[in-house]
Structure 1
Amino acid sequence: MLTGAQLAPFLLATSLITLSPGPATALIVRHSAIHGFRSSVAVLAGIELGVFCWVSLAGIGVAGLVAASPGAFTVLKIVGAIVLLWMGIQAWRASFAMVSGPVDSELVGTQRAWRGFGVGLLTNLANPKAMVFCLAFFPQFIPAGAPVLSTTMFLAAIMIVIDTAWFVCLALAAHRAKGFFARAKVRRALDRVAGTVFVGLAARMVTLVR
């Protein structure tokens, strides 16, 4: 078991990383503001499951093998860029087919929740930056002699709790402002900003090196 002194730097680093804007932030704010809180929770669940998968693979060494293989890393990088580019295009397309008012019925909300979960999960699983992060970040906080897998999973659980708490607060804030985001002009602007962010991240991912 880690001591408080060993956990403190991990908690600080994790909190700072969580607060840093990224594709997860853009995804959750957009889904909560436009499609509702339920949709954003589904996106968050997918994102955190992706984190859990990469951490698990890093803990047992599989992620390290992928990162060490130039071919596998390149394929993952290209897939990640395609996913982000697709999300950017979808957001831009949505901005050109905009109407005012609420957009989600119960049925549509359920469909959007599953779709959001899949997008959140795919965003992380196809992201080599998430894999490299897990490989580089967690070992720094594992004390010498501690069991690697169980300690890594323990730290990952803490990270997921912190992530979830922050993103739920963010989603609730965006959801409460849903009346503002229901305006066609505002929603169009949000979609275009999110779409531009995703396209930019896709371009950046293509140039990612290990």
Structure 2
Amino acid sequence: MVHPVAVAGFLVAILPLIATPGASLALLVQYVTEGGRRRALPVVLGTVTGLYVHAALAAAGLSALVMHSSLAFTVVKLIGAVYLIGLGLWTWRTAAPTPRRSRPRRTDSVYAQALLANVLNPKAAAIYLTLVPQFVTPQHPLPGQILTLATAHALLITLWLTAWTFLILHATRVLRAPRCKRRAARATSAVLIALGVRSAVT
């Protein structure tokens, strides 16, 4: 069992990381702009699932293996970078220059994109290898403590993305204008490409 003070400290430590714009927020802006609030749920669920994947890997010690092997870490980082850049290029390509009828994206596709964007981000894994050890005690079973911190992390990022969803919906009339919609999609693609490039070179 993790002490409530430790959970609070962990949340304070990761809040700046959550507040930093990333792939999850970029995907949220894109899909909520296109399809409304119903598209926010698969983005949030995909992101949260990714957090639990990292937590499970940390509990099993697999993430530690990746982080301590420079080759494995580089491979994971490059895979994530290629995915983000590819997703960004695809988003740019689908921002049509003129309004046209498009088929709505399946919810499971949105979920998979958000999940992969989080799972393939080695910096997300680093949270559970650098910050989590500061807030657990070896006298108690680690898996339960990591699960508790991951759940707190998931709740905080859910609140953050939900708040952004309402902000996006508030501006939905402007954002859904064809010209603004294209600009929003291209801004999203630029963010994803930039995140991918940064992940590849750092």
**TM-score of the superposition, structure 1-length normalised?**
0.87
Aligned mate of 1:181, from 175, 179, 199: 175
Report the residue type matching 1:165 in the other structure: L
Aligned mate of 1:134, from 128, 135, 139: 128
Structure 2, unaligned stretches of length 5 or more? none
Report the residue type matching 2:134 in the other structure: Q
Q: For residues 98 and 139 of structure 2, what CA distance do their matches in structure 1 show?
A: 57
Report the residue type matching 1:12 in the other structure: V
Check conservation: 2:29, 2:188, Cα contact below 8 A: no
Following superposition, the deviation at residue 98 of structure 1 comes to 4.2
Following superposition, the deviation at residue 144 of structure 1 comes to 4.5
Q: How do 1:67-78 residues align onto structure 2 when only pairs under 5 Å count?
A: 67-78=67-78
CA RMSD of the aligned region, Å?
1.9
Please tell me whether residue 55 in structure 1 is matched to residue 55 in structure 2: yes
Report the residue type matching 2:181 in the other structure: R
Following superposition, the deviation at residue 16 of structure 1 comes to 3.2
* Partner of residue 145, structure 2: 151
Please tell me whether residue 191 in structure 1 is matched to residue 185 in structure 2: yes
Q: For residues 3 and 150 of structure 1, what CA distance do their matches in structure 2 show?
A: 12
Seen in structure 2, the aligned counterparts of structure 1 residues 16 and 77 have a Cα distance that, compared at 3 Å, is closer
Q: For residues 122 and 4 of structure 1, what CA distance do their matches in structure 2 show?
A: 31
Structure 1, unaligned stretches of length 5 or more? none
Choose 112-121 or 165-174, whichever is displaced more.
165-174
Percentage identity across paired residues of the two chains: 27
Runs of 4+ in 1 over 6 A off after TM superposition: none
Give aligned pairs, total.
202
**1:178-205 Cα distance to aligned partner (Å, 9 max, x none):** 2211111111111111111111111111
Q: For residues 192 and 67 of structure 1, what CA distance do their matches in structure 2 show?
A: 33
Following superposition, the deviation at residue 92 of structure 1 comes to 1.2
* Partner of residue 201, structure 2: 207
**TM-score of the superposition, structure 2-length normalised?**
0.91
**1:49-103 Cα distance to aligned partner (Å, 9 max, x none):** 0110011101120111122223322221111111101111012112234417xx7
